[in-house]
Amino acid sequence: MGQKKDLTGSEKSKIVRYLAEGCSSLKVAKLLKRDHRTIKRFTQNSQQGRKKRVEKPRNKITAHELRKVKRAAAKMPLATSLAIFQSCNITGVPKSTRCAILRDMAKVRKAERRPPLNKTHKLKRQDWAKKYLKTDFSKVLWTDEMRVSLDGPDGWARGWIGKGQRAPVRLRRQQGGGGVLVWAGIVKDELVEPFRVEDGVKLNSQSYCQFLEDTFFKQWYRKKSASFKKNMIFMQDNAPSHTSKYSTAWLARKGIKEEKLMTWPPCSPDLNPIENLWSIIKCEIYKEGKQYTSLNSVWEAVVAAARNVDGEQIKTLTESMDGRLLSVLAKKGGYIGR
């Protein structure tokens, strides 16, 4: 028995018209003198729609495509693997393969956060570097404040989880659940406390000076020798509470004035070695995505982490200043990283 002919285009059009008029598939088969099963098969295929051709995933790319991907990754920092491969017109490569290919030539990084530097900022940074190029930085007391929250920085709560295990629950709270303001200093190989700013106190000129009086001067500075006080250079950044006329005059009455008070260039956290100390402490207190339930608990974690920082680590930070100054001059006042 010979194979029956497929439905013609004319027959398909008639089937659609008859069905639209309310005819059953059996009646359509009789009108067209076609087998009922043929009509039913056509209607079923029409309802399912035409199957799209599925492209098989590619597990490899050519050497030429690999070179294109490498160039695209260099030109498109922070782009996704999909965007990089699409820019090279390479399709059909699954995400796992794309990431494996990119892992050999790139790393997943976050964008660096840094203050904007204009021409004036760069000139002031160069002038600052030239002024202090011959300074004995072992005599400089580097100070700064840091705020620590109960939840820690976003994106730090990541890590490997075994197969079959569920990810631990992480609390979501506004503004990280609140936080504690911490002040500290480093000089040579010594860490100056840290000290905790009283909860709810906003540091303006008056409260900043009172805070230094109650903590730094009474609890640490007064214990130092006369020769140390004579040679020490006090560094603070350009926060309004630090550089106001009130604060400047108050520090002068404490003997910290003129050459004993370091001038600081604008937008320059990369030049302050204590910023690196804050990074060390934060990495310790927020490791493995740790969160805290009270301000006292996060403060206790800061104190414990600070005690674990040894003198050699602090000495490495303070001794890095000569290199930082040379880097600023080499980059014509540009940002040097930390």
pLDDT digits (tens, 9 = 90+) for 265-285: 999 999 999 999 999 999 999
Please indicate, yes or no, whether residues 95 and 125 belong to a single structural domain of this protein. Answer: no
**The 3-state secondary structure of 8-28, one letter per residue:** CHHHHHHHHHHHHCCCCHHHH
Left (φ > 0), alpha (ψ -120 to 50) or beta: where does 149 sit? Answer: beta
Pairing, β 233-235 against β 140-149: parallel
Q: Does some domain include residue 161?
A: no
pLDDT value of residue 175: 63
Please indicate, yes or no, whether residues 210 and 275 belong to a single structural domain of this protein. Answer: yes
Please indicate, yes or no, whether residues 134 and 271 belong to a single structural domain of this protein. Answer: yes
Q: Does some domain include residue 41?
A: yes
Please indicate, yes or no, whether residues 184 and 255 belong to a single structural domain of this protein. Answer: yes
Please indicate, yes or no, whether residues 86 and 131 belong to a single structural domain of this protein. Answer: no
Q: Does some domain include residue 338?
A: no
pLDDT value of residue 50: 52
More confident site: 159 or 242: 242
| Number of domains observed in the structure of the chain | 3
As a whole number of Å, the end-to-end CA separation of the chain is 85
Alpha carbon distances (Å) from 199 to 20, 155, 215: 76, 26, 15
Q: Does some domain include residue 112?
A: no
CATH number of the domain within which 226 lies: 3.30.420.10
pLDDT digits (tens, 9 = 90+) for 19-49: 888 888 888 888 888 888 888 888 887 665 4
pLDDT value of residue 104: 87
Q: Residues near 45 by Cβ (< 8 Å), separated by ≥ 6?
A: none
Please indicate, yes or no, whether residues 35 and 137 belong to a single structural domain of this protein. Answer: no
Residue 54, pLDDT above cutoff 70: no
pLDDT digits (tens, 9 = 90+) for 168-209: 777 777 665 789 999 999 999 999 999 999 998 999 999 999
More confident site: 167 or 257: 257
**The 3-state secondary structure of the chain, one letter per residue:** CCCCCCCCHHHHHHHHHHHHCCCCHHHHHHHHCCCHHHHHHHHHHHHHCCCCCCCCCCCCCCHHHHHHHHHHHHHCCCCCHHHHHHHCCCCCCCHHHHHHHHHCCCCCCCCCCCCCCCHHHHHHHHHHHHHCCCCCHHHEEEEEEEEEECCCCCCCCCCCCCCCCCCCCCCCCHHHHCEEEEEEEEECCEEEEEEECCCCCCCCHHHHHHHHHHHHHHHCHHHCCHHHHHHCEEECCCCHHHHCHHHHHHHHHCCCCHHHECCCCCCCHHHCCHHHHHHHHHHHHCHHHCCCCCHHHHHHHHHHHHHCCCHHHHHHHHCCHHHHHHHHHHCCCCCCCC
Average pLDDT of the chain is: 88
- Which residue carries 């999909």 as its tokens? 82
Please indicate, yes or no, whether residues 86 and 123 belong to a single structural domain of this protein. Answer: no
pLDDT value of residue 48: 54
- The C-alpha atoms of residue 94 and residue 85 are separated, in whole angstroms, by 10
Give the domain extent around 86. 63-105
pLDDT digits (tens, 9 = 90+) for 201-239: 999 999 999 999 999 999 999 999 999 999 999 999 999
- The C-alpha atoms of residue 223 and residue 189 are separated, in whole angstroms, by 17
Q: Does some domain include residue 38?
A: yes
Please indicate, yes or no, whether residues 72 and 145 belong to a single structural domain of this protein. Answer: no
Quick one: angle between helices 295-307 and 274-285, nearest 10?
120
**Per-residue confidence band for 4, with pLDDT thresholds at 50, 70 and 90:** low
Please indicate, yes or no, whether residues 292 and 200 belong to a single structural domain of this protein. Answer: yes
Q: Does some domain include residue 73?
A: yes
Residue 1, pLDDT above cutoff 50: no
pLDDT value of residue 257: 94
Going by C-alpha positions, the residue among 194, 281, 181 that lies closest to residue 241 is 181
Q: Does some domain include residue 322?
A: yes
Please indicate, yes or no, whether residues 17 and 81 belong to a single structural domain of this protein. Answer: no
Alpha carbon distances (Å) from 146 to 12, 134, 184: 76, 29, 8
Q: Does some domain include residue 162?
A: no
Please indicate, yes or no, whether residues 72 and 201 belong to a single structural domain of this protein. Answer: no
Please indicate, yes or no, whether residues 85 and 196 belong to a single structural domain of this protein. Answer: no
